[in-house]
Amino acid sequence: MSLWCERLVTASGTRERVRIEVDAEGMVASITADTDVRPDDISLGTVLPGVGNAHSHAFHRVLRGRTHADGGDFWVWRRQMYEAAGRLDPENYHELARAVFAEMLTAGYTAVGEFHYAHHRPDGSRYAAHDMEEAISAAAADVGIRLTLLDTAYLQGGIGQPLSPEQQRFGDDSAERYLERWSELRGRIPRLGAALHSVRALTPDEISRIVAGLPGDVPVHIHLSEQPAENEASLATYGATPTELLAERGVLSPRLSAVHATHLTDRDIELLGGAGVSVVMCPTTEADLGDGIGPARALKDAGATLALGSDQNAVVDAMLEMRALEMQDRLASGARGRFSPAEALHAAGSGGYRSLGWAQGPLEPGGPADLIEVRTDSLRTVGADPEQLIFAATASDLTRVFVGGRVVVTDGVLASGEEPAQLLARGLGAFSR
């Protein structure tokens, strides 16, 4: 199979009249510029690499448009999120996740890391099988998005606190029980990663045992320093910041993705960058929840690889998420252009895929043939330089989305003919019943 595009814009530059050869596994076999279209090519216009959504909680989508009017902070919002989590079951979660993943595809996300912790029934009792995890996996397969399921360990309600009633369905009793359940899942889920919820939800010993018990090639994610209260509790109990604690336990490495990393010390930044970790920034969520603006530029300069995530899915738009990385840095620094368009594209594409365990990024030789086609003549994009399209376009400007060289979305409609808005209406309706 071969794709031909008038223009290919990647983090490494812009090439004209490009043919992308795709092998039988949906990977890029070759990329050739300055070549004419052939009759058997699939012909496209301006193309960007697909975007890896490195941090998602699909069920948070039910809170969009329902939690913004009454003030509060992250901790107030969390109570509303727990109420939503308590109403999930395998059937309504499959319907909801399928709709959310469809929305992601239309918004330019071709891969997603689902940070999943609603494992059990609301009272903490086990399903007969891995029903919740299977529901998420099937939902992704149904619509054609690449899924890395980040199965999450969540063993305490806060530092030194038992799980609350609302958190019972997240827990696995012990690090050993979590590893046992994770190992059972590995034969069932095509791409299985792991996650440590946070230093609030696991003791240092549990963190060490879980990381040591996971295969070395498995990506590991963790929420890190999203709120000052987490740092304060960690310092008071352990005498170390969350980042320092992870460093002491030998957890910092290139396979680790630290999500948010908003409230860091200079030493934290040095440790994360020096270890070559991925840092998943979630700009629209961090703004929506009032978390703060993380030191993305300093982390990248220190050696971290940046990635992006939609997190709570209050906004699902890969273009807006890329743009927000730079816009929030402008607000924090008072300077424009500290992230180039190429750096934002790298974070969204190769950075996101690296975080999800891919050795090569989208549209790299040997990497996934995942791409998005962007209109250059819309009300928003007409006149924009190709390299700066991400600062002009929105998800509304995506015409076709390809995963593995095959079209999965055309003009906002799935290849199956389904409309994501209708899927969302059904998914939200199923959740409400």
Give me the active site residues, please: 260, 311
In terms of Cβ atoms closer than 10 Å to its own Cβ (0-12, 13-18, 19+), residue 415 is middle
d(CA 86, CA 122): 6
Q: Is there a contact between 54 and 355 (Cβ–Cβ < 8 Å)?
A: yes
Q: Is there a contact between 425 and 414 (Cβ–Cβ < 8 Å)?
A: no
d(CA 306, CA 168): 33
The identity of residue 392, as a single letter, is A
Contacts of 420 (CB under 8 A, 6+ apart): 99, 102, 103, 105, 106, 412, 413, 414
Closest CA to 26 of 348, 410, 408: 408
Closest CA to 47 of 375, 372, 370: 372
Lateral strand order in the sheet of 371-374: 28-32, 13-22, 2-10, 42-49, 371-374, 398-403, 406-410, 413-414
Q: Would you state the structure tokens that stand for residue 430, as one six-digit string?
A: 């199923």
d(CA 321, CA 235): 32
Q: Is there a contact between 299 and 267 (Cβ–Cβ < 8 Å)?
A: no
d(CA 404, CA 54): 18
Q: Would you state the structure tokens that stand for residue 340, as one six-digit string?
A: 């180039």
Q: Is there a contact between 408 and 108 (Cβ–Cβ < 8 Å)?
A: no
Question: Quick one: CA torsion of 380, 361, 113, 44, rounded to 10 degrees?
Answer: 40
d(CA 397, CA 389): 10
- Residues 40-66 as b/e (b if ≥16 CB within 10 A, e otherwise) read ebbebebbbbbbbbbbbbbbbbbbbee
Q: Which helix (H) or strand (E) holds 351?
A: none
